[in-house]
Amino acid sequence: LKTAELLAACPFPVLPMVGNHDSREGLLAAFPDTPTNDGFVQYEVEKDGLRILLLDTLEPGRHGGAFCERRAAWLSDRLHEKPDQPTLIFMHHPPVVAGIDWMDPVTSEPWIARFAAAVRGHRQIVGIHCGHLHRPIFTMFEGHPLGVTPSVAPLVAMDLRPIDPDTPDGRDLITTEPPTYALHRWDGTRLVTHYERVSDWRVLASYTPHLQGMIQEMFAERN
């Protein structure tokens, strides 16, 4: 409930989703107005011509993702409803192997196949954005751009070596890298995603009269 109190101050809509450390009951207690479908926290929102589909990949007791036939059917139905409307999908678990061995799924997992079948061929999808891996990652999935947003919680260490679950090797797993969030900019035709760190840094240049000439030159080049 404390999180809900803090987020209530945001000057924009807050659209809650579940991740692997959450419970649906806890989320709905904190955010009672969150829509559900067939017991899952799956719903849609439309804003400025962009359709946003928020998916539920939670399986209680499991670290990795899940996407059962009922959830996949809901997604498939939504995508077939409006094949020409730009659509952005959010889900917690990435359905891809990113190379961080201890966090990755196996590509043959049934839930990934169900999700892949649901999104395959739907050209209106402008992006799929995930969490879970706590690192900035970009790839493609079934022909669609797929991004992973880092986290405002501690980040996962960048280590692409294979890991042996039977041999602890002392590698870093979680770090204190600066919190990072994603800002998705939709201009009506194109989605652009920026990843921004929350940290202190020095400013090396500001827009002062000294640099006005450079700015004017750059604008002039656009003609």
Looking at residue 2, its pLDDT comes to 86
Give residue-wise pLDDT tens across range 163-210.
999 999 999 999 999 999 999 999 999 999 999 999 999 999 999 999
Percent helix, percent strand, percent coil in the chain, to nearest 5: 20, 20, 55
Give residue-wise pLDDT tens across range 73-98.
999 999 999 999 999 999 999 999 99
State mean pLDDT over 118-137. 98
pTM as predicted = 0.95
Looking at residue 139, its pLDDT comes to 98
Pairwise CA distance, residues 114 & 66, whole Å:
10
Pairwise CA distance, residues 80 & 84, whole Å:
9
Distance set, CA 189 to CA 47, 143, 192 (Å)? 13, 18, 10
Looking at residue 223, its pLDDT comes to 83
Give residue 66's pLDDT band: very low, low, confident or very high (50, 70, 90).
very high
Position of tokens 């952005």? Answer: 88
Give residue 108's pLDDT band: very low, low, confident or very high (50, 70, 90).
very high
Question: Does the structure show a pLDDT above 90 at 157?
Answer: yes
Question: Does the structure show a pLDDT above 80 at 8?
Answer: yes
Give residue-wise pLDDT tens across range 21-36.
999 999 999 999 999 9
Beta strands in the chain (DSSP E): 43-47, 50-54, 87-90, 125-130, 137-141, 144-148, 155-156, 174-175, 180-186, 191-197
**What pairing do the DSSP bridges indicate for beta strands 144-148 and 125-130?**
parallel
> Domains, the chain, ranges and CATH?
2-220 (3.60.21.10)
User: What six digits make up the tokens of 46?
Assistant: 């439309």
User: What six digits make up the tokens of 123?
Assistant: 């050209």
pLDDT mean across residues, the chain: 96
Looking at residue 166, its pLDDT comes to 98
Question: Does the structure show a pLDDT above 80 at 39?
Answer: yes
Question: Does the structure show a pLDDT above 80 at 1?
Answer: no
